Structure 1
């Protein structure tokens, strides 16, 4: 059930118990990929996981509207990037989860597509789950951490994100820019000395915002990434639904 497209009476009658809340960002992804990449990929993984759940005959989860702006100040040097403070972001996501719980949708997986959101979402999930007044239980899931051996190839606007975009939103990839995107990018995230990243913002180590080689990410790889991530997410949702909250 896509919450944006459903009516309130349809939600009432379906009485869903669980939700997938996609969380992304609006930030630069090089000259070849859209600013909304992280939200687009999070939504695609959430919808694919929901389809898996339906095909398995389990109750249909709600796919909530995505959170489009995240913790992205590290990309502020690149035009079009939007960001909010971690405090604002945490409050917004937490209150969204609480509003779902007020309607009985009290098991929520935060489906994340942006690395800068990871720390804040983990805290949100803990705080929501510890607040007995709402009865809600939440966990955070980041799709590119759930793709097996491919996870080590994650950059920024690089191989994995370009591959998944070519699978789920090919018309939004500026194919003519892919080659130059890799040439003007960085092979790795950050500027490291003895395990410490000296760079706070991405423009300190990448000229065009890209980290990795986007040309290496084709639609075939994107299909595999979507399959792996959605399979993992469906399993996490099942575990969240079944978990005994009485355990401490």
Structure 2
């Protein structure tokens, strides 16, 4: 039995083993080019969260992984079928309700592990931090941790269903990755993206919510064809090492008057 996964453990264990840190994975249900499953973000973040919690548990940390939230914000991708949207205001309310449940369960520390690039949770964390005694932490793996490994592991990293995500898919849910029956190649297109009209947006100091049906052909952003399972395995191990190390440190840290600072 995997006691670090709430869905698999039981009240008998929880009653005798108080939890210090809860981890909430969040994903999305959306198209990923022509070759990856709609559940890609969910498969990735659940794999990452469960492995990180296991590694932390094996080091003595009292952690538990909550069930994944399988929907995210898709307002810019809704021209594609079955991009299943939850507005940011809806997600905020879901977080409020879950945090209230965690407070009643005695949880003092919560890490939200975000697996969907369209989710912008920082404003929600700021708002909720003023309304709860739970210490809230956020990890966006594709915006933070990935930066350290993009150029080292990948030839042409992109934004969505690219070499990075496809490598993770080949490593951990390859049975859902579509290949041409004759050539064996991915059924994906090249993941080309339309150029921005405005230089300021291209440079990054002006941002927009990108209409995905105008930006891409089949929702893929970034060429996936150089992907490999080996790259995905190396990336996952890096993620697991970093996240589990933080979980152990967080679980062992007392909440005193200077927390989370020295």
Q: Give TM-score, length-normalised by structure 2.
A: 0.83
| CA displacement at 1:98 relative to structure 2 | 2.8
52, 62, 67: which one aligns with 2:64: 62
Say if 1:24 and 1:178 are closer, same or farther in 2 by CA, change over 3 A. Answer: farther
In the alignment, the residues of structure 1 paired with residue 193 and residue 94 of structure 2 have an alpha-carbon distance, to the nearest angstrom, of 34
In the alignment, the residues of structure 1 paired with residue 158 and residue 130 of structure 2 have an alpha-carbon distance, to the nearest angstrom, of 32
Say if 1:81 and 1:210 are closer, same or farther in 2 by CA, change over 3 A. Answer: same
- State the match for 2:145 in structure 1: 146
| CA displacement at 1:182 relative to structure 2 | 3.2
Say if 1:243 and 1:126 are closer, same or farther in 2 by CA, change over 3 A. Answer: farther
- Do residues 247 (structure 1) and 258 (structure 2) align? yes
Bigger share in helix: 1
The question of whether the paired residues in 1 share the 8 Å contact of 2:22 and 2:64 is answered with: yes
- Number of residues of Structure 1 aligned to a counterpart in Structure 2: 241
Q: Which has the larger radius of gyration?
A: 2
SS of residue paired to 2:60? coil
- Do residues 171 (structure 1) and 170 (structure 2) align? no
Q: Structure 2: which 5+ runs fail to align?
A: 202-206
19, 24, 43: which one aligns with 1:21: 24
- Do residues 45 (structure 1) and 48 (structure 2) align? yes
Say if 1:240 and 1:130 are closer, same or farther in 2 by CA, change over 3 A. Answer: farther
In the alignment, the residues of structure 1 paired with residue 209 and residue 221 of structure 2 have an alpha-carbon distance, to the nearest angstrom, of 14
160, 165, 171: which one aligns with 1:161: 165
The question of whether the paired residues in 2 share the 8 Å contact of 1:18 and 1:106 is answered with: yes
| CA displacement at 1:33 relative to structure 2 | 0.7
In the alignment, the residues of structure 2 paired with residue 54 and residue 214 of structure 1 have an alpha-carbon distance, to the nearest angstrom, of 34
Say if 1:141 and 1:192 are closer, same or farther in 2 by CA, change over 3 A. Answer: farther
What is the root-mean-square deviation of aligned Cα atoms in Å? 2.3
SS of residue paired to 1:215? coil
| CA displacement at 1:244 relative to structure 2 | 4.1
Deviations 1:29-49 (A, max 9, x none): 111111111111111111111
In the alignment, the residues of structure 1 paired with residue 90 and residue 158 of structure 2 have an alpha-carbon distance, to the nearest angstrom, of 27
128, 132, 135: which one aligns with 2:133: 135
- State the match for 1:203 in structure 2: 213
| CA displacement at 1:54 relative to structure 2 | 2.5
- Do residues 191 (structure 1) and 196 (structure 2) align? yes
| CA displacement at 1:21 relative to structure 2 | 0.6
Say if 1:97 and 1:175 are closer, same or farther in 2 by CA, change over 3 A. Answer: farther
- State the match for 2:235 in structure 1: 225
Say if 1:32 and 1:193 are closer, same or farther in 2 by CA, change over 3 A. Answer: same
The question of whether the paired residues in 2 share the 8 Å contact of 1:50 and 1:60 is answered with: no
Deviations 1:51-93 (A, max 9, x none): 22123x2224111000011111211111111001110011112
In the alignment, the residues of structure 1 paired with residue 45 and residue 158 of structure 2 have an alpha-carbon distance, to the nearest angstrom, of 15
SS of residue paired to 2:189? helix
- State the match for 2:118 in structure 1: 116
| CA displacement at 1:247 relative to structure 2 | 2.2
- State the match for 2:15 in structure 1: 12
SS of residue paired to 2:150? helix
Q: Give TM-score, length-normalised by structure 1.
A: 0.88
